[in-house]
A and B are shown apart, each in its own frame.
Chain A
């Protein structure tokens, strides 16, 4: 069973009782998060009541110092968090008007794809099979259709031209940036509604990072992106909305422009101006 319980009734920090209403919600909402609390085996809550609305077909960036709970937050969104032994989470997350807890996690993850911090192509599969992995899980058997989808996904991930002649060679033979784009293609191939990205560029050099930011601008035309980043310039470049988190709480959330130029909270200001700590 899913361990959905809050083992920490008395969280050390005093969160204001009703969660502050999220302010950024001009567009239709793809994912809405209410009063999310989560933590790990034997520990106190890492997320102490986070609420935010993620707008559809926009890029939402989550920034904050290391360890503040950014990864934990987005791993709750596709219910990967609860797969860890002993991890708990409660609160409400709605996708398409339905609580994610009512979804079969397997089906949920086909709607909410994920790209990880370190590129993780499957080492025993070639490039083609890596991209096709999610499709074959879905039960797709039509070779021509798979090939077509693999190509279109690799094109969307801006990788097609570099790999089209070596689709049968192992994915682990690519450079780090290419591997990460392969992982993006793999996630896109399943045609998710939402793509979660957990510091997707932190292991990459500036050129590879720039390529991924470029392709983000393209793919957000068709899907919702939530990107965790420790790089504030990156958040400013790619996102429409930014959420700033600090020790498990959402400090400020709003249009990226405003958050960086006129932060409402002193802590946000300190962080974005580099005066943090």
Chain B
């Protein structure tokens, strides 16, 4: 893209200015080509991946067509496959996680940058980054031993209070969409917090002071100046987190119950796309099963590409609006 012309100092009277010699120019050209190859390699890998997934799942697509995406039965024993329960599980758990983690993460970032004393902010920021580094299987263990029992205990009162909504009806298993959504929220929270914090730190002090000088409270400065200024970055953080939530496998598998059903209740066990691939790939019974699992993988791949595209589009729009 727009590569600037090298800035060569104009030759001074003595002709001492350095002009790149032929060898240097050859090195430059080599370097440029090497980088171009490296960059196209990335694209090539992505395309090869898509092609591989598509060809390995051809059996499913030829026998079922796009109907695979909205069929509900998943029974490898009688070769009946439909991806809808996994799409549903992935969508609901990710949405739930975003609903919880986005306000919490942005709120924490505001607290860390605008309100917390500097010492406390440093310590907390460190803790947030530590949380991001916890392996997901460890979080899954925490989910199994702490979260699931807690959710099981909370579900009956929740059901009594909000049971008029189908979302909060049903037997309290503990494992299910609610637990999976919560554990995903814990996993993406540090991303949203850490990135939002970085972005909020870039809000220029003169802008904040300009708002303060008008007699704004701290909250009004955050709302009037900081958040609008940082919205693009925060949107980026949200989509990055969503991408992670969609693909997260281990911790979700451990707490979601792994049942390919669709239920309006957040209490019921479910399954996600990544979880079913991880659980069944190793023991896939036959070609049809294997092909169906890879078809699920291709769907997930396509979904993340679309989400990323939407993220780019959104960020592009936001950037052009201001």
Query: Across the interface, which residues of A come within 8 angstroms of B322, CB to CB?
Result: 123-124, 170
Q: In the complex, which range does the number of interface residues on chain A fall in?
A: 20 to 34
How close is B215's CB to chain A, nearest CB, in angstroms?
A: 4
Chain B residues whose CB sits within 8 angstroms of the CB of A170 once the complex forms = 322
Contact A186 B118 (CB under 8 A): no
Which residues of A lie under 8 Å from residue B259 when comparing CB positions? Answer: none
- Please measure, in the bound complex, the distance between the C-alpha atom of A78 and the C-alpha atom of B225, giving whole angstroms: 20
CA distance A133 to B214 in the complex (A): 8
- Contact stretch, chosen from A10-18, A113-121, A211-219: A113-121
Q: Kindly report which residue of chain B lies nearest to residue A112, judged by CB atoms.
A: B213
Given contact pairs A80-B213, A109-B214, enumerate 8 new A-B contacts (beta carbons under 8 Å).
Answer: A108-B215, A109-B213, A113-B214, A120-B206, A122-B207, A122-B228, A137-B216, A187-B213
Q: Is A190 an interface residue (CB 8 A)?
A: yes
Q: Mark B216-242, 1 if CB is under 8 A from A, else 0.
A: 110010001100110100000000000
Q: Can you list 29 contacts pairing A with B, beta carbon distance less than 8 Å?
A: A78-B213, A80-B213, A83-B209, A83-B212, A106-B215, A108-B215, A109-B213, A109-B215, A110-B215, A113-B214, A114-B213, A116-B206, A116-B209, A116-B210, A120-B204, A120-B209, A122-B210, A123-B207, A124-B225, A124-B322, A133-B214, A134-B215, A134-B216, A137-B214, A137-B216, A137-B220, A186-B210, A187-B213, A190-B214
A126 to chain B, nearest CB (A): 10
Query: Of all chain A residues, which has the CB nearest B227?
Result: A124
Distance (whole angstroms) from the CB of B229 to the closest CB of chain A = 6
Least CB distance from B7 to A in Å reads 27
Q: What is the interface of chain B, defined by CB distance below 8 A to chain A?
A: 118, 204, 206-207, 209-217, 220, 224-225, 228-229, 231, 322
The verdict on A183 contacting chain B, using a C-beta distance below 8 Å, is: yes
Contacts of A114 in B (CB 8 A): 213
Q: Is the CB of B228 within 8 A of A124?
A: yes
Q: Are B224 and A133 in contact (CB under 8 A)?
A: yes
Q: Is A107 an interface residue (CB 8 A)?
A: yes
Q: List residues of chain A with CB within 8 A of the CB of B228.
A: 122, 124-125
Min distance, Cβ A85 to any Cβ of chain B, angstroms: 6
| Cβ < 8 Å to B, chain A residues 91-121 | 106-110, 113-114, 116, 118, 120-121
